[in-house]
Structure 1
């Protein structure tokens, strides 16, 4: 008893410190474990959500791909039927068939992605329905934006007043094509063959142009320079340094030419 009476406050505190420290340490350790478990669980849920999101995105992409293919195949069948049975052929064409084909194209194009829009245009071109010499369908105002026609052979294609913004014509053959009054904003025409291509009143804002191998001779280059300057917003297009220098020289010479 005397020994208990003789213990000071510090002695009592010393006796209580160890169990209190163990209690607090145990509590903190438990909280740390809970926090760590929560983090692990959150990471697991996050991984699951990411996997589910990726699965949904992939499934949606597969469904979209299947839908694009079905839409394009139905379109091809309908146009082919008009060509065989509806009076839309080489020997002649009925105005009703032309209207039907144009309306079908106008309603189908916005439902397609850029890849399928390009395939649709190639189908019409190969069917000789949009050639400059004898066009059957006019695509004026139809949404063909983003069409992928890179490396396509499109000599003499007829696309006046078409919406071809952000279309990819890189390395394509557009020799003799009619792109007059077409919307070519952000379109890619780098290294495309552009001999005798008609750009009159085409919107060339932010359109990209680089030389192709068929523009090595001076007459061809001069012809392209003149064709480009007939477009609208051509000053806002993106040219290779060589083309830009020639355009600057052309406009400078044109401005300095004495008026008759």
Structure 2
């Protein structure tokens, strides 16, 4: 028997024992009857309310006559279990609604913080490129390397801060594509190795020759993306959506493609030496000249 099943049985036994124990101690005070059927105790409020009626006689009316006056008292029943439950329900409901509002406020605040972080990143990188006139610098200029290192550091930190926010991760990469810092840059080709891109929304993006070795692209949407000649050595692509992706000539050495959907993708000439492809969907994929040695 697996450890998980043992724990389920233990927890189930404890829960059942707790219910039985609670029933033993709670039912007798609530149910009062010596014979079947049981009758709920009055204080629980379960069942019909009892109305008590009393009559009194009063003598000595006007002119010495005797009058008989019947007085009927119909007292309201005392607070029952259900009355107390109603009293408790209101504050608990208010607490629950307050908690939900608080969680919603936190969610909105987190979204605003991530949006502010994205704008700060975009502004900072744009300022670096414009103020230093990167396009006019020579390829061997030491300033280019310093700017590249700064942008890489800020990019990796920003992507990591977005955690599970795939939309904003995709926005960062799209921005880098537009300013030609990833694969087609004349001055800077940004190295994004070890980048945190889990769950990133990158469908249809142009990522040719991008350097993403040892990056985390698990659960990412890369459908119809252009990853031709990309450096994906040791990259985590578990459960990634690569439907229709162009991976011609890509280096996927030791990449983790377990559970990835590669249906209809183009792996012509790709290097998958040592790659993990367990449960990967390769239906209709183009695999001519692909290297699967030790995969």
TM-score, normalisation: structure 1: 0.68
- 1:155 Cα offset (Å): 4.3
Larger RCO: 1 or 2 (CA < 8 Å, sep 6+)? 1
How many Å separate the matches in 2 of 1:101 and 1:171?
27
Query: CA 1:180–1:170 in structure 2 vs 1: closer, same or farther (change >3 Å)?
Result: closer
User: Is residue 2:190 matched to residue 1:137?
Assistant: yes
Any idea what SS the aligned residue of 2:241 has?
Answer: strand
Superposed CA RMSD in Å reads 3.3
Partner of 2:97: 51
- Deviation string for 1:162-204 (max 9, x for gaps)? 5233242242322415142152242422423224151431522
Residue pair 1:179, 1:197 contacting (<8 A) in 2 also = no
Return the index of the structure with the highest Cα Rg: 2
- Deviation string for 1:206-258 (max 9, x for gaps)? 2412323xx5xxxx56x2xx526335212x252155559x89xx97xx89xxx
How many Å separate the matches in 2 of 1:204 and 1:159?
16
> What number of residue pairs does the alignment pair up?
214
How many Å separate the matches in 1 of 2:136 and 2:88?
66
Residues 81-230 of structure 1 aligned to structure 2 (within 5 Å): 81-89=127-135, 92=138, 94-112=144-162, 113-131=165-183, 135-149=188-202, 151-212=203-264, 223=268, 227=270, 229-230=272-273
How many Å separate the matches in 1 of 2:184 and 2:214?
14
- Deviation string for 1:33-59 (max 9, x for gaps)? 532123334443443333222212211
How many Å separate the matches in 1 of 2:227 and 2:217?
19
Query: CA 1:52–1:66 in structure 2 vs 1: closer, same or farther (change >3 Å)?
Result: same
Residue pair 1:169, 1:192 contacting (<8 A) in 2 also = no
Partner of 1:31: 44
In the alignment, structure 2 segments of 5+ residues that lack a partner are 1-32, 34-39, 46-78
Residue pair 1:179, 1:199 contacting (<8 A) in 2 also = yes
Residue pair 1:154, 1:172 contacting (<8 A) in 2 also = no
Residue pair 1:159, 1:182 contacting (<8 A) in 2 also = no
In the alignment, structure 1 segments of 5+ residues that lack a partner are 1-20, 22-26, 256-260
Any idea what SS the aligned residue of 2:204 has?
Answer: coil
